[in-house]
Structure formats: structure tokens, C-alpha cells
Structure 1
Amino acid sequence: MTKSTKTLDNPLLNVSSLPNFELFHVKHIKPAITQLLAENRAEIARLVAMTETPSWQNFIEPLEVIDNRFERVWGPIGHLDAVKNSDEWHEVYTDCLGKVTAYYTEVGQNTGLYTKFNAIADSLEFLDYSLAQKKVIENALRNFRLSGIALPAEQQSEYQEITQQLSQLSSLFANNVLKSSQAWSKQITDESLLKGLPDSAKGLLKQLAENRELTGWCVTLDFPSYLAVMTHADNRELRAEIYRAFGTRSSDQALNTAFDNTDNMHKIRSLRHQKANLLGFDQYADYSLATKMAESSEQVLGFLRDLATKSKPQAVQELKTLTEFAKRELGIDDFQPWDVTFASEKLKSKTLSLSQELLRPYFPVESALKGLFDITQRLFGIRIQAKTEVPVWHPDVRFFELIAENDDVVGQFYLDLYARDNKRGGAWMDSAISRWRHPNGKLQKPVAYLVCNFTPPLEGQVACLTHDELTTLFHEFGHGIHHLMTEMEQLDISGISGVPWDAVELPSQFMENFCWEREGLALISSHIETGETLPDDLFEALKKSRGFQSAMMMLRQIEFSLTDFEMHAYYNPERVEAVADLSQRIRQEVAVIMPPEYSRSMHSFSHIFAGGYAAGYFSYKWAEVLSADAFGLFEEEGILNPETGAKFKNIILAAGGSIDPMVLFKAFRGREPNIDALLRHSGITV
């Protein structure tokens, strides 16, 4: 493949080093993608036309070369759309997204490619391939079938059109959530309305007002701002107002309905069903499960309802306790959903002498990171150190390297911790660069993006994390080490690539456990003023708090999981059940807290409609069984036992997507997974 001279003129096309975000401009996007797609198509045409017998060297490796280059060009474009969004960038990104989607659909339906993959699978050479190489071929053949390779030409065109529309609608959905969130804010000039908020929270709201050149304080729908009000504000009217604004984002019930996702959701559901039917599946859920550990819709729904049955009696009692406390201690006779977080914090403070604000001074960001890195070194023999003078997309972003005991760099990651304008909400890990062995023999080291939306530091002060934020940091880092500590050198099974969606949360949820253990907290915590680690009384309260309202939280996740799965498992195009009706039906079955009629939480649920979790949100609970049971071995052999850590790294993390995760789990644990550890960690007794 000839290298275009244009490559040198467009910084997006320079993939010989880390992305130089400082040089990226919206004008670079379209030329880069246009050139890249043209070069990829030319290389694919060459490979399809070659007369030699296809092999790993002459066929798979050239495909890996173009796939790797594509990830390294397209990846930063999508990343910047999420962390540094602008209307101009998003418009061009969305335009190119259509071209990229068309390209991938075209590749998935390329009969010439499919024929050559089949020829390799049927060859004698295939028998001598490594397990990893065989898995790459098997996954490719499966993905061809799921891309409509066997469809007649007319239906292939229909599949292409559906896929194109779904891609655009998902992007529109996510952007509507961001824009709807940004469209709402509330200026407050009367400080008495903020009674109950700690100084740190009021400082955040004042900083948000100053950023908007407003006097007083400003409440926004960024999660740190929203949570501060819902947790601490004595003023019920204020809590009710922001609860409604947050729960009606991008819906027909929002104050500004310009970003309503109702039609997008309806179209997405319909198109997913059509896509599944085209491929011979009765429902989209069946299509989704074709690439997951779970074997059937019945198995998934049975798993979720079993968890609900085990959790609901305790959840009913938890809500009764909370409601009675709110009436007795807080004077709230008509208990409402916007009282739940507020009253829960008061109840926790009273019964456990614990609150997020009480814990916050013990988790300065630097101490939390040092503890996280210390744990990583003790468990996995990997040290982590900062690297400066690396181009980033915002001054707050930092860059780190993972270094092995032999001083080799294992991988690197960007860390973007704080919420800000024009940054998508939530927390996530994404691949910047995948570990891969180039045909020339050079090993490409993996790089990850770790993104959170924590409360930013107030001017002149050090940022401290709540314990909830701490567990989020460890969660995303768990995804990060899954990507960075892989030993796979084939692109499609390296890191989290090729890992079934319902197993990909195992390392992330596993890492959260260290935030609850004395051995972990001794390394993580350091009081902002005294340097003291978390004292025994707070540690005991924290351990007890892990089971605080855990059944209510369990049911909340099951409610989301069931709504998502039933939405895709029982879709009837002749009689479509509206999302709001479906949500209400599931709530009546499993929930104990009933939101008001205007609630539209699904309208901003990007996980399902824009984030790859369609008919897969159950994966969090499915993987939590695996992660809790895996951590049980550390509880048995030592929380920071380096031998157990090495076993986890060498079996679970190193394998990437090369081996079925159930096989890996059994190799690590020595048996099938058991649900008991999850219930025990959650404080749910049955």
C-alpha cells in the first residue's frame, strides 16, 4: 500500500506516535477519513484479488495493519467528540460517522474477504495456529454472519441502510443528552436556599456560577452538581426541581423539548428489530446474545428475576426504615423520590456516623492515585509513574506509564478526572491504541483513555474524592488494566477486544473491592490535613455501609436491566409497548421506589441507546457475580497476596479475548462461579 504524501500534512494521519491533540482541528477530520477509507478499500481489493493461497502472513496481517491504522485515526476523533464537544466538531464527526459505518458494513458483507477467511479456516495450516490465531479467525467468521454475509443482495442493501441509520441515531441520542443537560441551569442568589450543603458543594456551585459570569451560585445537571443538591439540600422544593430536570432530560417532559429523544428511541428499537429479523433472529436480544456468555433470553431473565426475588424482601424493609426515619426525624410525611438520597444520607449519618462528606477529606486525589498505584504494584508487579510533556486535550488531563519489573513499558494511559462543560457525563475507559505485533516484528504497546466526571478542585484547593468517586476511579482503572496488561498480540483479541460484553466488567468490578478493605484503604486514604489513614471507627462504619440500602440499589440495577432486555426480547412491531409503559410495568414488578409519572430516565440512558449495552445492561450484574467470586479468592488467600494477584493477571487479564471467559474463570477459581459472594458483598441475606 502506497503512503500518501497528504499524510504528512494532516496530524490526524500521523500514527507513528501518540496523538498530538494540540494540532487537531475540525478541518482535518473529513480529509483524514476520506483518505483513510480510500486507502483501506484499495488494500482490501488487493487482498481479495490476490491469487496466492490465503494465510496469516499474506492475508490476516495486512488486514490488521489497516485496522490498526484506522483505530488510531478514527479513535481520537470520536474521543474528542465526547470530552471536548463542540457543535462544529460534532457536525463533521457525525457526517464522517456515516461514511465509517458504511465502510464497516461493506467490509462485513465482502464476499471475497469471507471466502478467504473460510479458506484459512479449512486449511491444514489452520490446525497449527495458536489458540489466539484460531480465535481471531472464528470471531471473524461469526461477525461476517452477523453482518449479513449470507443475505441476498437486496437484503444486504437493506441491512446497510439500517446499520447506517442506527449509527446516526445513536450519535444523535447521545448528543441530545449532552445538549439537554447543558440547556438547564438554575442561578441562585439567596444563600438560604442552599442550607444543608457543605462548603465544598457550595464552592462548586459558586465556581459554576463564576464560569458563567453569574453572581451567587449555579446548579447544573452535571452529576457532581446534581448529586450535591440531592444529597444535602434541606430545601425540598429545590431538590424536587432539580430531580425533575435531571429525570426528564432529552424528553417530552423537559422544559426545553428541542432535544427530545422519544422519536429516536422509537426508531432505534424498530430498526434493531428489523436488523435482527433480517439476520434470522426472532428478536434483537437473540442477536445481542450471539456474542455474549449468556446463552439465551430465558437464562438472562431467569438470572435477573432470581436476583430480584432474593433482594426484594430486604429492599421493602430498607424503604420502610427510611420512610419511617424521614417522617420521625425529618418531618417528611409524604415521602417522595427526591427525598430518597437526602434522607438516606441523613439516616446513614445517624446510624453509622458516616457520610460521603465525612469521608471525602481522607481521599485527596493524589493519595487515592498513589494508593491505587501501590495496590497495582503489590498485586501485579507493575509500577506506575507520570510522564510529562505529552500532548493532551485539556490542562487537567494527565498521562501515566505502566512499567514492569524489568523496566519495560507495558502500556500507558491518559487520565481525565473532572466534570466540565462540553464533556459527556459518566465515566468510561476507551482504547487509544491496542497492543499488537506489527508484521515487521515491532510490538505496539497499548494506550487507554480513562475518563471520569468527578467534582473538580475549587480554586486554590486540592480535589478530594467521595468514596463513591473513589470506587468509580478503581472501576475504570480495572477496565484500563484489562486493556493494558494483555499479552495478546493479535489486534482483534487484544485487551478488551473480543471479550464478551457480559464478561468485560469482571476486572473493573473486581478492582472496586479494594476500596472496601482495610489493606486497600491503608494505602489509599490520607487525610488532607493530618495525613492520617482512615481510622478504625470510620472503617467499621464504611464496611457496614456497604450493605446500607444495598437491596434497594440492587433492585434499581435489575429494573434497568430488565427494562433494557425486555425492550429487545419482546418487541412486537404491530403493537409496540411504549418505553414509558414498559418501564412502569417493570417497576411494578421489581421496584420499591416509584418515580413520578413525568419521569423519563430511559430518554437519557445512553448505555442502551448509544453505548453498546442494548440487550446487554444485565452484563453489569452478570459480571458482578464473576468479580465478587473472583475476589473471594483474595479474601481467602490475602487481600494483597502477590501470588493470587499474579494468577489474576496471568489468567484473566493476559488472555484478552482469546479464550472463553468461563474457561478463564474456572482456571482462576477452580470451579464454576457462585452467586453467594455477590449477595454477601452486597449485604443481602436470603
Structure 2
Amino acid sequence: MSSSNPLLQDFDLPPYSAIRAEHVETAVDAILADSRAAVAALLAEQPGAPSWASLIQPLDELGARLGRAWSPVSHLNAVCNSAELREAYEACLPKLSEYWTELGQNKALFDAYQALAKSPAAEGFEVAQTTILEHALRDFRLSGIDLPLAEQQRYGEIQMKLSELASRFSNQLLDATQAWTKHINNEAALAGLTDSAKAQMAQAATAKGQDGWLISLEFPSYYAVMTYADDRALREEVYTAYCTRASEQGPNAGQHDNGPVMAEILDLRQELARLLGFANFSELSLASKMADSTEQVLSFLHDLALRSKPFAVQDLAELQAFAAEQGCSDLQSWDVGYYSEKLREQRYSISQEILRAYFPIDKVLTGLFAIVEKLYGIQIEELTGFDSWHPDVRLFQISEQGAHVGRFFFDLYARANKRGGAWMDGARDKRRAADGSLISPVANLVCNFTPAVGGKPALLTHDEVTTLFHEFGHGLHHLLTRVEHAGASGINGVAWDAVELPSQFMENWCWEPEGLALISGHYESGEPLPQDLLDKMLAAKNFQSGLMMVRQLEFSLFDFELHASHGDGRSVLEVLEGIRAEVSVMRPPAFNRFANSFAHIFAGGYAAGYYSYKWAEVLSADAFSKFEEDGVFNGATGRAFREAILARGGSQEPMVLFVDFRGREPSIDALLRHLGLSAEAA
């Protein structure tokens, strides 16, 4: 074991700049070997009646050691991807999968957990400990503990292969995104684009040693073209490249094609479900979620579609009529963003670009922190002098009445070799260590905003502000936990269809005048968002919310149906087209290959669970309606939400926590009202 390997050292925060690709496999091999030996010794030493201290605590210590090494590697693979790191990361995936499968199928370990759950001591456990035990026993069964040996081995093979395929899907999507660019020499071709978008494209060209402007498929660049480019042919070209990424269609047809990867993933998921006694993967997915059955999920989604579609039909008719007035009588997918922005400007005299000047990043962050300080009684300060993976990364500390609570990294801007999208991941869990010390939580918060260009600070659109609040909500869920057992602290053990509650909940303050007053200020003058702009922004809040709702329902139903019906002879595309026939009002062109870049379900944790966004939106809207009743900065209500939802992590079922806060089960009415999709709102 190399003592010079930073991943084998104890550290407070990961030594990111010291981690090399050659450190990764060596460290993982050493830790897995140590862990296997430790588990065997642990089981050999168990007393007749295992205790929490003799069984769970040592396993938590082993998990923490492995997490301490693997978490920074996994994170670097997403935010600083390189050929060497990717190779090392992928070499470890099957080894990790094999290790976790071994634990899940370890009969002696299962017996020890069962003995602990039935022991007299268990009657005195905290609710979090009881829940952790219940979830562990459930997960043993979902790991194939009851299967014959040959089927257990097949389970392990499938899990290993699925881990590898998810990584391949993600890599091919990243490679496909970076494989296409368009170099522009004539500025007239960029007519309509904002100065900030052109500055970013000029900066991208300079970085590649080119003059002029470089359009890429990184989201800020794609979004700018689709929203502002007057050149319809350019919009069509960029749209085609973007929506055919990693497929057999489009300008790079067949390069990095995720089609075969998706087919193999779906086959293996279906086989896994059958192996464990479920009819399909959607059923298996729900075994650890809040929803009770596939019927309940489908009924929920179809009901939302039924209520929303008339509003979407109306939204589209208005957009088509407006586009026709502007000379576009055959509205296509690459026209929707462009004419939607023009219609928004005409109707409300407001645009994302006008708003951008009022949301410089530091003002937004200061306001965001002020909001959560008011709500939850915490303090946030920026730290300096830390080790980082990129110069743009910032580190902050949360404290409460002078006591340290946790820390979080912000990595906010788009760049090459960084995965697209926005996410939070736990870098370290809060837990009580074996020596009695309290380990504080650490989170990584990642976005892909347009970086500072042309001497101006980074300026966010209001949509980006909302994304930032969303991810910070996840971060608070991880950081403000009061649970001291790793299995239920922070987001650990939280049902996947409830995990979006705290994140979507935070978005509400981006729309409240009291919240906007704190997060907005013109980047030059510091002037707050003027009342007339605020009024226009609030008036435009639900602009095209019908169209947006059916789009999200299309994704949710497609995902769930795909996993519930796999094997019925339909291709991925045929399932998607069937869902579109039911809920969509604007059909994309035949070459669109959206599924090939749907990383949430093929490379993230959302397989047969994308509905969670809508499910949790009902919870978050209803939770926020309590603040509408009491006052959006009501300290007592804020503390009540913190203690009922954020502090308790995965220690109890989400419905119990929700009812503790709201005093009743959730109602869909608040969501429809917030989105303007109800008779009351209309």
C-alpha cells in the first residue's frame, strides 16, 4: 500500500490537485481488500446478539473510508474528465459493483442484521436506527439474498454490466456533445444574439486558437442560438446537431451512438427485475420509493396530463398564430424557443436577457444565503485557501450560533470536459464516528452557467437563478441533517420520489417579491429590480406553463412506460412516439433522438423514477403554500420545515415527515394553482 497515494490518506477535504489517474485503481484495490477482510473478521467476532456498536458502526466506518476515496474520483470524472481518469474510473466500476453485490448477498451479514432487528436492544433504538435496519433488510432482498447461487451470480454480473453501461452512456454523450462545433467568421450570421452570448462564443473560439465565434453544444451556447438567432437555418442546424447527439442520426450520425447501449441497459434491467420476482423494472424501482404501485404512478401522470393538455393546446395555438404574424407559417421545433421569447417580449415587455443584468452571481449568492439564514437560522461564509479542481470553484461554510454545521463547494460555470446539467452530490455524510467524534457533511454543487466574459461578472438568467436555488435545496437537505447515522443522514435513505421536495421547494423564493429584492441588483449600478420589471416578470411567470408541463409529463411517462413495458416488441423510439401521441401538442421531427441523451434515466438514478420531479412538485408546492399562509420569511414556519423535512433526512418515510410539517397529506391543488393550470388560477 503506497503511503504517497493521497486517496489512502485521511483528509478533511479531498486533496483534488494531488489526485492522479494512477492513484485511483491502486487505492480502490487496497481499500476493497481491507474491507473484505474487515467484514469477514467482523462477522466472526459478532456476539450471539449483535449490537449497533458491534455491527452497524464498523460497517459505517468501512463505507466512509471507501467513500472518502471514491467520492472525489467520481466527482473529478464528472467535472474534469480526461482519457486517463476515465480509464481509471471505469476500471474500478466493476470492482465496486462486485463488492457491493457481495455485501448484499452475504448470508451471514443478512443473518446478523436480522438478529439485530429482532434483539431486545432494537426496541430502544431511535427512529432513524429502526428505519435504517428496515431499509437494509429490504435492500438485502433486492440484492438477491433469497436467490439460488446461480441466480445470485447472474444478479452480480448484471449489476456489474449495468454500472459499466451507464458510464459508457455518459461518456458517449459527453464525447458527442464535444464532437460538434460550428465556426462563424461573419458576425452577421449571429444577428439577434445577445452581446453576452457572442462574447462567450468569441471566448470559445479564442480558446481553440481561432478567430471569430465558435458555437458549441454546451447548453449556454445551444440555448443562445435557439432563443435569439434570427437565422432560421442556423437554428435548424444547431437544433439538429443537439437533438441527434449520440445517435445514428444527424451530422455525426453513428459516432458515439447510445442506441445499442440503451437497448442493452433495458434488457438487463428487465432481466434483473424478473430475477427478483417483479414483472418489470418499473415495479422493482417502486420497491424503494414513496409511490405504492405502477398503477398509482401512471394514474397520477395521466391525471396531470388530462388537466394540463388543454392549456398546452392553447399555448401552442397562440405561439403558432404569433409566429405566422412574424412570417413563419410552419412553426418547427427549432422555431419554438425563438418565437416564444419574441412573444414573451411582446406580451410582457420582458426577456431573460433584460433580467440577466439584474442577477450578477455574487448578488444572487448573497441573497440566496440571506434567504436561508432568515428561514433556518444559519450563517454562511466563504472560505479561502482550499485545494480545488478548478480556479472557478468556491467553498462555503455553514454555521449555527457559532458551531460548525457543514461545507459546500460551488462549481458553477460550463467548460470543456465537464458533464452538462446541474447536480448536487454528497462529498461526505454527517455521522457519529466510532470514536464518538461528529463528522460534518460536505456537498458538491455543480451547474453549467455562462461564465464571466468581457470584463463583466457572470450574469445569470432568471432560469439559471432558479436552477441555482434548486441545487442549493438539495445541498441544504444534505447539510442541515440532524441524523447522526450514515444510513439516514442527509439525502441517504430518502425515497427517490421525495428527494426533489427540498430542491423544488427552494425555487419558490425566486418568484417572491421579498426574495427577489434580496437576490437582484444591477451589475453596474446595484439598482434593485425595478417594480415595473418585477411586475412583468411575475405576470410572465406562467407563460407557456401548459407546454412545459406536458413536456415534463412526456419525459416522465416515456421513462415509466419504457421500463414497465419492455419486451413488448416496441423499440425505444416507438414507446416515445406512443407517449407523444397521447400527451404532446407539438411533435418533434422524425430525426429527433432525445432518448439517446436522456442521461437522467440511462446514466443517472432516475430510471423508472423521472416521475419523481412531478410527484415531489406536488409536495413542494403544497409545503410552500404553508409559507404563503404564514409569510414567506416566517421564521417559525421556516424552522418547522427544517426540523420536519431537512433535519430528519431518510430517518422516516417521506409521507410521515410531510404530514408532520403540513398537518395533512399533500393536495395537488397548490401545484396547479402555482402553474396557472387550474380554473382558480385562470
- Smaller-chain TM-score range? over 0.9
Match of 1:223 in 2: 219
Distance 1:381 1:368 in 2: 19
Structure 2 counterpart of 1:542:
537
2:597 is matched with which residue?
604
Which of these residues, 387, 399, 403, is aligned with residue 403 of structure 1?
A: 399
Residue 81 of structure 2: SS of its match in structure 1? coil
Deviation at 1:15, TM superposition (A): 3.0
Rounded to whole Å, the distance in 1 between the matches of 2:2 and 2:503 is: 37
Structure 1 residue 685: Cα displacement? 2.1
Give the Cα separation in 2 of the matches to 1:146 and 1:558.
28
1:277 pairs with 256, 274, 277, which one? 274
2:641 to 631, 641, 648: 648
SS in 2 for 1:9: coil
* Counterpart among 434, 437, 462 of residue 439 in structure 1: 434
Give the C-alpha shift of residue 68 in structure 1.
Answer: 0.9
Q: Is the 8 A contact 1:111 1:149 kept in 2?
A: yes
- 1:496 corresponds in structure 2 to 491
2:667 corresponds, among 667, 671, 674, to: 674
User: How far, CA to CA, are the matches of 2:209 and 2:585 in structure 1?
Assistant: 42
Aligned to 2:653: 660
**Structure 1 CA distance for aligned equivalents of residues 308 and 500 of structure 2:** 21
Cα shift at 1:7: 5.9
- Does structure 1 residue 685 correspond to structure 2 residue 682? no
1:291: which partner in 2? Answer: 288
User: Secondary structure at 1:287's aligned position in 2?
Assistant: helix
Q: CA RMSD in A?
A: 0.8
Deviates more, 1:319-328 or 1:49-58: 49-58
Does 1:344 pair with 2:319?
A: no
Task: Please name the residue that 2:80 is paired with.
Answer: 84
Alignment deviations for residues 125-156 of structure 1 (CA, whole Å, 9 cap, x no partner): 11111111111111110100000000000000
Name the residue aligned to 2:235. Answer: 239
- Aligned-pair identity in percent equals 53
1:285-324 mapped onto 2 (5 Å cutoff): 285-324=282-321
Q: Match of 1:490, as an amino acid?
A: H
- Could you give the per-residue CA deviations for residues 55-102 of structure 1, whole angstroms, max 9, x where no partner exists? 101111100100111111111111000000011110110011111111
Instruction: Note the C-alpha offset of 1:282.
Output: 0.5
In structure 2, C-alpha distance between the alignment counterparts of 1:437 and 1:459, rounded to whole Å: 48
How far 1:459 sits from its partner (Å)? 4.0
> SS at the partner of 2:357?
helix
Q: Are 1:121 and 2:114 counterparts?
A: no
Secondary structure of the 1:179 match is: helix
CA drift at 1:254: 3.4
Instruction: Give the CA deviation at 1:537.
Output: 1.2
User: Counterpart of 1:136?
Assistant: 132
1:183 pairs, out of 175, 179, 182, with 179
Give the superposition deviation at 1:48: 1.7
Which residue in 2 is equivalent to 1:93? Answer: 89
For 2:524 and 2:433, the matched residues in 1 are separated by 50
Distance in 2, matches of 1:337 and 1:258, equals 23
Structure 1 distance, partners of 2:541, 2:38, is 54
- In the alignment, the residues of structure 1 paired with residue 657 and residue 121 of structure 2 have an alpha-carbon distance, to the nearest angstrom, of 26
- Partner Cα separation in structure 2 for residue 529 and residue 232 of structure 1: 24
Tell me the residue number matched to 2:366.
Answer: 370
Shift of 1:530: 1.7
Identify the residue that residue 42 of structure 2 maps to in structure 1.
47
> 1: CA distance between counterparts of 2:388 and 2:2?
21
Q: Distance in 1 between matches of 2:590 and 2:398?
A: 49
Letter in 2 for 1:497: N
Superposed, 1:339-488 pairs within 5 Å as 339-405=335-401, 407-488=402-483
Contact 2:42 2:55 in 1 (8 A): yes
Deviation string, structure 1 residues 502-531 (Cα, Å, up to 9, x no partner)? 000000000000000000001000111221
- How many residue pairs match? The answer is 677
Structure 2 CA distance for aligned equivalents of residues 651 and 460 of structure 1:
44
Partner amino acid, structure 2, of 1:470:
V
**Partner-residue secondary structure (3-state), 2:416:** coil
SS in 1 for 2:396: strand
Where do 5+ consecutive residues of structure 2 fail to align? none
Give the letter aligned to residue 463 of structure 1: A
The equivalent of 1:30 in structure 2 is: 25
Structure 2 residue aligned with 1:627: 620
TM-score, scaled to structure 2: 0.99
- Tell me the residue number matched to 1:3: none
In 2, Cα distance between equivalents of 1:396 and 1:14: 26
**What SS does the corresponding residue of 1:576 show, helix, strand or coil?**
coil
Distance 2:378 2:277 in 1: 47
CA distance in 2, matches of 1:634, 1:542: 21
Q: Specify which of 550, 558, 571 is matched with residue 555 of structure 1.
A: 550
SS of 2:444's equivalent in the other structure is: strand
The code of the aligned residue for 1:308 comes to: A
**Deviations along 1:421-466, whole A, 9 cap, x unmatched?**
0000000000001000001110000000000000011042211100
CA distance in structure 1 between the aligned counterparts of 2:67 and 2:306, rounded to whole angstroms:
43
In structure 1, what is the Cα distance between the partners aligned to 2:615 and 2:9?
40
Alignment check: 8 A CA contact 2:250 2:591 kept: no
- Structure 1 residue 255 displacement after superposition: 2.4
Distance 2:139 2:421 in 1: 29
Are 1:437 and 1:490, in contact at CA under 8 Å, matched by a contact in 2? yes
C-alpha displacement of 1:316: 0.3
Q: Secondary structure at the match of 1:249?
A: coil
Flag structure 1 segments of 5+ consecutive residues without an equivalent.
Answer: 1-5
Distance 1:297 1:125 in 2: 37
In the aligned structure 2, how far is the partner of 1:100 from the partner of 1:615? 23
Cα distance, 1:542–1:7 mapped onto 2, change above 3 Å? farther
Alignment check: 8 A CA contact 2:474 2:500 kept: yes
2:258 equivalent among 258, 261, 264: 261
Determine the structure 1 residue equivalent to 2:581: 588
* Structure 2 residue matching 1:316: 3-state secondary structure: helix
Q: SS of the residue aligned with 1:384?
A: strand
2:79–2:419 CA contact under 8 A, matched in 1: yes
Shift of 1:220: 0.2
Matches within 5 A, 1:146-161: 146-161=142-157
